[in-house]
Amino acid sequence: MNINDLNKEELEDWKKACKISAQALAYGKLLIKKGNNLLDVTKKTDEKIIRLGGKIAFPSQVSMNQIAAHFCPTKNNNPVFDNQIVKLDVGAHINGFIGDNACTVDLSGENNELVKASREALNNAIKIIKPGITLEEIGRTIQETIMNFGFSPVRNLSGHGLGKFEVHTKPTVPNYNNGDETEIKKGDIFAIEPFATNGHGIVIETSNPTVFSFVQKKPVRDMTTRQILKEIGNYKGLPFAKWWLEEKFSLFRVNLALRQLENLGIIRGYPPLAERDNGLVSQAEHTILIEEKAIVLTKF
């Protein structure tokens, strides 16, 4: 989206959402310690967003080691932190305007360079961005930075535009030089999101999604499924976590409803994304506004 499409109040909502996202990310990062569990971190990070006056744009996601993105714990799958490399992805919204940011924590102490690779790729991309720069130039900078650390960018993950109640819109901001000559315009708002890996640089879907989003309305006959669908309607079409439903309904009812709703095409799941060769993955992300240069809205 471009700020020329917004009024003053909407732009202030966006800036506030980004500030809350940054504060919640910083808070959640401090919770990633050996012995803590993932569900506790995601719950407390989501709760922090609410306490700060925001709403949750997507469930806080904690993806470890070779899992690059889209992992949310559940009551039955709630690992404990040990020596993993951990990605925390956090987003808040105000009236549908979204702030999106992420960081990586290395609990092993052995992957500092991998963490630095994605973070420096993000910083270097932000430094060169200005009106008129092309997406391929951004991708080239990210790619070269990560490769200079001896790692590979994850080529089929990318940064993205942000819209009202939309987490992923145009443009797609590549993490490598993909030849896209689309120029960035003054007033654009989007997220830059480098991923670095010591693997091949491609992620694949695994199984058992725990993050979902609403797709379309269709009739549902089962009473239990209708009740859960009504709850899903409260999320305004934004992504939601399975554990949110587990807080209000039994695990059996949640599993049944999600399966039926997916089969009917009413919702879609987002399976965890794993590096193809089980390489470790790091991530860094900011939401930026393009003025004469890039302004980091999720700076904290």
Beta strands in 71-132, from DSSP E residues, in sequence order: 85-94, 97-106
Q: What is the pLDDT of residue 207?
A: 86
Q: What is the pLDDT of residue 220?
A: 93
Q: What is the pLDDT of residue 152?
A: 98
Beta strands in the chain, from DSSP E residues, in sequence order: 55-64, 67-69, 85-94, 97-106, 152-153, 159-163, 166-173, 189-192, 195-197, 203-205, 211-214, 240-241, 267-269, 273-275, 281-283, 286-290, 294-296
Q: What is the pLDDT of residue 4?
A: 80
Question: Within 10 A of 94 (CB to CB), how many other CB atoms are there?
Answer: 21
**Exposed, middle or buried, 218 (CB in 10 Å: 0-12/13-18/19+)?**
exposed
Q: What is the pLDDT of residue 5?
A: 85
Quote the tokens at residue 290.
Answer: 């393009």
Q: What is the pLDDT of residue 1?
A: 81
Which residue's structure tokens are 């987003």? 91
Q: Alpha-carbon distance 124 to 64, whole Å?
A: 25
- CA 92 to chain centroid, in Å, comes to 11
Q: What is the pLDDT of residue 6?
A: 86
Catalytic residues: 89, 100, 160, 168, 193, 285
Question: Which residue ranges in the chain fall short of pLDDT 70?
Answer: none
Q: What is the pLDDT of residue 2?
A: 79
